[in-house]
């Protein structure tokens, strides 16, 4: 006996306008509540609070001293005058020398480049070793590094001055670079150790099975995946080292004083009337490098944090 096959009933297709959209968003609220108004008001006040000093600095640096004396601090300059910027860069006096703040800029560059490279390299290697190789006493070493990350610099200054003096490299470029590497090692180790701890253990095990050793795994497996955390570490170290004052003042030596120390000398080297426009221009020039770093790579900094910089 033959059976007739009845096709299964199919659901009617929804109209195109009724098809649910996975990316559709809910409707915008038609009314603005008190909470939203308060939120925007708080954001505007907070932004104004932080931007106001920067606006005053820029306006003051573009005015002549006559305008500064007779006008309001928030008044716009009658004409843009960049002479204070030129003087701050090339002819401002830092004590007895009147070569401008450019000397400190190039000193800061000489300090910054090797300090950032070696501190990040040391932190990446130590963090990788603590994450995968399980050396004896790794937890104790990591705890000591964490304690060192939160200890104030002033505790170590005098012992390190005596140590570097005994070695014979005190007040030199090598001395200040080593200092920045030492003080940057704890936080760099913390960042890289937490990042590597979030990577799959199977990658490390597979490389070990293939016969790769410590350095080969690090160079060919771990380092290519470390781009996000490398960017985070570079931003943190560039900002920290460039803005440093006390370590550069104590350990760099007179020939290698960084830009922050030179800025202090410019502001305090006053003969007669204090040139507020020159001081403001020198301050902005000193802060230019960290500002540029944040504006250019701020997006990468957020991506690096989201990729695992605070895991662990």
> DSSP string spanning 163-217?
HHHHHT-SSSHHHHHHHHHHHHHHHHHHHHHHHHHTS-HHHHHHHHHTT--HHHH
Q: What percent of the chain has pLDDT over 70?
A: 84
Residue 280 CB partners (closer than 8 Å, separation 6+): 57, 58, 60, 61, 84
Write out pLDDT tens, residues 53-89.
889 999 999 998 888 888 788 888 888 889 999 999 9
pTM above 0.75, yes or no: yes
Average pLDDT over residues 215-244: 91
Residue 190: count of CB within 10 angstroms of its CB: 21
* Structure tokens that stand for 95 in this block: 């004590």
d(CA 133, CA 137) in angstroms, rounded, equals 11
For 7, 41, 168, 266, 300, the CA distances from 34, given in Å and listed in that order, are 58, 10, 66, 49, 35
Query: What is the radius of gyration, based on Cα positions, of the chain?
Result: 29
Write out pLDDT tens, residues 118-152.
999 999 999 898 888 777 777 787 788 778 778 88
d(CA 238, CA 236) in angstroms, rounded, equals 6
32 has a pLDDT exceeding 60: yes
Write out pLDDT tens, residues 165-218.
999 999 999 999 999 999 999 899 888 988 888 888 888 889 888 888 889 999
36 has a pLDDT exceeding 90: no
d(CA 66, CA 121) in angstroms, rounded, equals 51
Domains and CATH numbers, the chain: 34-81 (no CATH), 102-309 (1.10.3720.10)
The pLDDT score that the predictor gives to residue 45 is 93
Torsion of CA 269, 271, 276, 277, to 10 degrees: -90
Write out pLDDT tens, residues 234-252.
999 999 999 999 999 999 9
Q: Which residue's entry shows tokens 């009724």? A: 18
97, β-bridge pairs: 94
DSSP string over 262-281: HHHHHHH---SS--HHHHHH
């Amino acid at each position: 006996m033959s059976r007739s096959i009845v096709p299964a009933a199919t659901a009617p297709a929804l109209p195109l306008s009724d098809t649910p959209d996975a990316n559709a968003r809910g409707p915008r609220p038609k009314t603005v509540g008190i909470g939203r108004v308060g939120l925007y008001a708080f954001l505007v006040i907070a932004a104004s609070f932080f931007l106001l000093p920067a606006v005053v600095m820029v306006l003051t640096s573009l005015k002549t001293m006559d305008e500064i004396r007779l006008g309001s601090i928030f008044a716009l300059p009658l004409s843009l005058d960049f002479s204070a910027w030129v003087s701050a860069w090339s002819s401002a006096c830092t004590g007895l020398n009147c070569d401008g703040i450019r000397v400190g800029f190039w000193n800061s560059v000489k300090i910054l480049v090797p300090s950032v490279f070696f501190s990040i390299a040391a932190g990446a290697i130590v963090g990788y070793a603590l994450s995968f190789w399980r050396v004896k006493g790794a937890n104790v070493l990591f705890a000591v590094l964490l304690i060192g990350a939160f200890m104030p610099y002033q505790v170590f200054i005098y012992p390190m001055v005596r140590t570097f003096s005994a070695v014979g490299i005190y007040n030199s470029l090598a001395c200040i670079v080593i200092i920045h590497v030492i003080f940057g090692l704890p936080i760099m180790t913390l960042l890289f150790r937490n990042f590597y701890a979030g990577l799959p253990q199977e990658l490390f095990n597979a490389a070990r099975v293939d016969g790769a050793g410590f350095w080969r795994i690090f160079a060919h497996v771990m380092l290519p995946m470390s781009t996000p955390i490398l960017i985070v570490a570079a931003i943190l170290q560039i900002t920290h080292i460039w803005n440093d004052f006390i370590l550069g003042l104590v350990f760099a030596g007179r020939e290698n004083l960084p830009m922050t120390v030179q800025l202090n000398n410019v502001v305090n080297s006053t003969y007669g009337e204090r040139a507020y426009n020159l001081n403001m221009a020198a301050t902005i020039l000193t802060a230019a490098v960290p500002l540029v770093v944040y504006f250019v790579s701020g997006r990468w900094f957020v991506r690096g944090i989201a990729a695992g910089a605070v895991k662990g």
